[in-house]
Amino acid sequence: MKLSKEEKYHLYRRACFFEHSANMHKSEEAEKIVDAIFKEQKITPLTIDIPEWSESVAKKSKGKKGQALRKKWRKDVQVLNHMWVRQMMAPKYGLQEKMTLFWHGHFACRTVTSPYGTMALNNVIRENAFGSFKELLFAVSKSAPMINYLHLRQNKKGHPNEDFARELCELFTLGRDVDYTEKDVQEIARAFTGWRSDPMGKHIVVERLHDNGEKTIFGKTGNFNGEDVLNMILENKNTARFISKKLFKFLVEEKENQDAIEEIATSLYNSNYDIKAALKTIFTSNWFYASRGKLILGPTEFLVLLGKLFDLKYDDVKTIIKMEAYLGQVLFDPPNVAGWPGGRKWIDSSRLALRLRLGSLIINRGYIEDALTPELDAMIKKKQPKKKEVKFYEDVDWDAFFKLNAPEDLYSVFITTNNPGLKANYGEITLKEIIELISTPDFQMT
């Protein structure tokens, strides 16, 4: 399949947040470009310099010392948040971090109070982001943050806690009420009894707390443990279908295409859950390129797109956190275990008003002067510390920007929707037109 310049922009925006024309692979063949994108990806764990977890650290987490330590930990997580956004913007990290973001929402786990948990889970996801879903599922299920978040520490023989078992089936693998019953959830919980993590975060099974009795799960009876359950879930192709539906909605469009989802699911299932195989199916399919301009950018994608477009620095940690809060997606702090709802839920009247103005605020110090809605004004005022302004604006090297993008393609750099009326308004794209384009609703689409 040969790609037009507009289709190449589409691929790079969906797969890598964005790429300038000058940095795109020169081939017109979709498969060659996709292979080149995969080949160039870098993996760098998120790490900050904090004391190694130990009993002495645990003791400090009590009393007044504990309060001070927890406050520091929250700030450490904000630093990690800031580091991650900047890494998403870095060359040759786009697809790696885009998929890490996807799985971050899929395996939603609140770690905003712990830099240890944040690094552990985020890096496990990153390592497996387009590797094996089987390995990713096992690794996340055994991670200390997930064990803590879904109460596996309270899951023991004779008193099973069903939280992890329920979310495993409903949110992580099969989907709501697909091929499992309430009795299955109860029996699955028994299979995961005794799952814990040691003080260093390593997964362990405490045998005296594990239920070794027979269990009947998915119509099969045996002395099943947690790993047995994960393997049984993966044997069911509906797991591949559920994952594929979420990939489709994240990378293609919100309106479901059952034939396309089945095509992705077949690639995923037949490759023993190779995520890369599923992604290649998506990025080399006609229906993917027919979806141009049909997805609403998520808040993080929106910030990263702006950052990559204009080579922004986003130097201030607090500014990033506040922009995420205003836009409705603070990394490492999902609203619940189901994650962020996405799609049209990203947009309400207040947040749309901010989105339409934010690009201008960042790159041109408020060139567009439309008033914000009262609701958004109130939200910002509530979150804004007294006598401290958030520095939105940044200096942009416009000469460098124009060198990276051919003049005849500039409209396609900003707008992917099929909107002839909008396109008819623009011939030569100058700085003024750029500010106008990034302030349109069409710029919110990808």
Q: For residue 169, give both structure tokens.
A: 């089936």
Q: Which residue has the tokens 């940095």?
A: 23
- The region of weakest confidence among 16-20, 297-301, 351-355 is 351-355
**Cβ atoms of residues 306 and 312 within 8 Å:** yes
Residue of 372, 371, 358, 377 lying closest to 435 (CA atoms): 358
In a 3-state reduction of DSSP, which class is residue 415? coil
Which pLDDT value is given to residue 372?
A: 46
The mean pLDDT value for 413-442 works out to: 91
- The region of weakest confidence among 211-225, 292-306, 351-365 is 351-365
Containing 203, the helix (H) or strand (E) segment is strand 203-205
Which pLDDT value is given to residue 389?
A: 52
Confidence tier at 92 by pLDDT (50, 70, 90): very high
Which pLDDT value is given to residue 380?
A: 52
Structure-model confidence comparison of residues 138 and 348, the more confident one:
138
Q: Which residue has the tokens 């996709």?
A: 34
Which pLDDT value is given to residue 381?
A: 55
Distance of alpha carbon 104 from alpha carbon 108, whole angstroms: 6
Confidence tier at 315 by pLDDT (50, 70, 90): very high
Domain boundaries, the chain: 5-40+237-289, 299-444
Which pLDDT value is given to residue 377?
A: 55
Distance of alpha carbon 255 from alpha carbon 42, whole angstroms: 32
Write out pLDDT tens, residues 173-213. Answer: 999 999 999 999 999 999 999 999 998 889 999 999 999 99
Q: For residue 288, give both structure tokens.
A: 């993917």
Angle, CA 34 vertex, CA 29 and CA 40 arms, to 5°: 125
Confidence tier at 382 by pLDDT (50, 70, 90): low
Write out pLDDT tens, residues 416-430. Answer: 999 999 999 888 898
What DSSP letter does each residue of 256-275 carry, written as one string? --HHHHHHHHHHHHHTTSBH
Question: Is the pLDDT confidence value at 10 over 80?
Answer: yes
Write out pLDDT tens, residues 47-71. Answer: 999 988 876 777 677 788 888 889 9
Which pLDDT value is given to residue 391?
A: 61
Residue of 218, 225, 233, 235 lying closest to 272 (CA atoms): 235
Q: Which residues 6+ apart lie within 8 Å of 402 measured at CB?
A: none
**Cβ atoms of residues 257 and 266 within 8 Å:** no
Which pLDDT value is given to residue 64?
A: 83
**Cβ atoms of residues 282 and 98 within 8 Å:** no
Which pLDDT value is given to residue 369?
A: 40
CA torsion through residues 250, 256, 257, 262, sign: positive
**Cβ atoms of residues 302 and 328 within 8 Å:** no
Phi, psi of 131 (to 5 degrees): -100, -120
**Cβ atoms of residues 153 and 145 within 8 Å:** no
The mean pLDDT value for 119-145 works out to: 97
Q: Which residue has the tokens 């790490």?
A: 47
Which pLDDT value is given to residue 346?
A: 93
CA torsion through residues 247, 252, 256, 262, sign: negative
Q: What is the mean pLDDT of the chain?
A: 92
Could you tell me whether strands 215-217 and 220-222 are parallel, antiparallel, or unpaired per DSSP bridges?
antiparallel
Distance of alpha carbon 302 from alpha carbon 322, whole angstroms: 14
Q: For residue 412, give both structure tokens.
A: 């396609």
Alpha carbon of residue 328 to chain centroid: 13
Question: Is the pLDDT confidence value at 367 over 50?
Answer: no
